[in-house]
C-alpha cells in the first residue's frame, strides 16, 4: 500500500472540486515518488462534471508531480515520506486579514500600501459617492 492509499484511501463515493483537486495533487506527488495509481486518478478525474473542473484536476496532478520531482529529483538519495509530508501534509498557512504584512521582503511594498486608490471607500462617508475631483475642470 502506497502513501496515497494509506492517507486518503480509495473508497470514496463522491468528491467535490476541492476534494478532487487535493487528491489529484497527492496522486501527482505519489507518482513523482514512484507510486503509480492511474486508475484512481481516472476515477477522480471522471468524477468532475465540467471540463473546467476536470482541467483543474489535471493541473493539480501535474503540479504535485512537478513539485515532487523538484524537491528531490529521481535518482537522488531521498526520503519519500519526508517529501510526502512536506508537500501533501505540509503546514496549512492561514492569514488573518487584520494582520496583513506591510513593507519589507515578505509584505506589501510600502509604496503600494500607502496608495489610497486601492483602499475601499467607507460607505458611511458621503464623498464616497461624489464625483471624483480629477473629473472636475
pTM of the model: 0.63
Rounded-to-integer distance, Cα 122 and Cα 105, Å? 29
Domain locations in the chain as residue ranges:
3-87, 97-127
- Phi, then psi, of 62 in degrees rounded to 5: -65, -40
Strand-pairing partners, residue 102, are 108
DSSP state letters, 9-66: -S--S---HHHHHHHHHHHHHHHHTT---HHHHHHHHHH--SHHHHHHHHHHHHHHHH
Rounded-to-integer distance, Cα 3 and Cα 20, Å? 17
> Sorting pLDDT into bands at 50, 70 and 90, what band is 93?
very low
pLDDT at residue 24 is higher than 50: yes
Tell which wins on pLDDT, 127 or 29. Answer: 29
**3 contacts 80 by C-beta, under 8 angstroms:** yes
| Mean pLDDT on 111-122 | 57
**65 contacts 24 by C-beta, under 8 angstroms:** no
Q: What is the pLDDT of residues 34-84, one digit of tens each?
A: 899 999 999 999 999 999 999 999 999 999 999 888 886 666 666 888 888
- Phi, then psi, of 115 in degrees rounded to 5: -70, 125
Amino acid at each position: 500500500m502506497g502513501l496515497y492509499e494509506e492517507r486518503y484511501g480509495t473508497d470514496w463515493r463522491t468528491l467535490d472540486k476541492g476534494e478532487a483537486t487535493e487528491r489529484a495533487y497527492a496522486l501527482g506527488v505519489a507518482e513523482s515518488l514512484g507510486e503509480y495509481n492511474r486508475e484512481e486518478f481516472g476515477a477522480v478525474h471522471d468524477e468532475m462534471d465540467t471540463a473546467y473542473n476536470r482541467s483543474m484536476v489535471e493541473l493539480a496532478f501535474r503540479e504535485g508531480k512537478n513539485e515532487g520531482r523538484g524537491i528531490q529529483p529521481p535518482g537522488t538519495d531521498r526520503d519519500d515520506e519526508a517529501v510526502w509530508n512536506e508537500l501533501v501534509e505540509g503546514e496549512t498557512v492561514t492569514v488573518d486579514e487584520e494582520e496583513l504584512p506591510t513593507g519589507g521582503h515578505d509584505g506589501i511594498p510600502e509604496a503600494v500600501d500607502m496608495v489610497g486608490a486601492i483602499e475601499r471607500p467607507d460607505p458611511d462617508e458621503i464623498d464616497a459617492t461624489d464625483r471624483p475631483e480629477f473629473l472636475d475642470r
